[in-house]
Amino acid sequence: MKSNLIRRIDDCIYEIPADAKKGMNVPARIYASEALVNNMDEAV
């Protein structure tokens, strides 16, 4: 996953802004550890 798109909100909460991809209307919240977020691929 492109780390420049993911904003860290809290220890285990991350957010991808709604303007990150065409067709997204709302931000996406990810609840995961830092290690898991760092190992996500582009398909997630």
| pLDDT score for 42 | 72
Question: In the chain, which ranges are continuous DSSP H helix?
Answer: 34-38
pTM of the full structure? 0.78
User: For the chain, what are the domain ranges?
Assistant: 7-38
Helices (H) then strands (E): counts for the chain: 1, 3
The residue ranking higher by pLDDT, 21 or 33, is: 33
| pLDDT score for 3 | 66
| pLDDT score for 13 | 97
Mean pLDDT of 39-43: 78
Q: Kindly tell me if the per-residue pLDDT of 2 is higher than 90.
A: no
| pLDDT score for 4 | 79
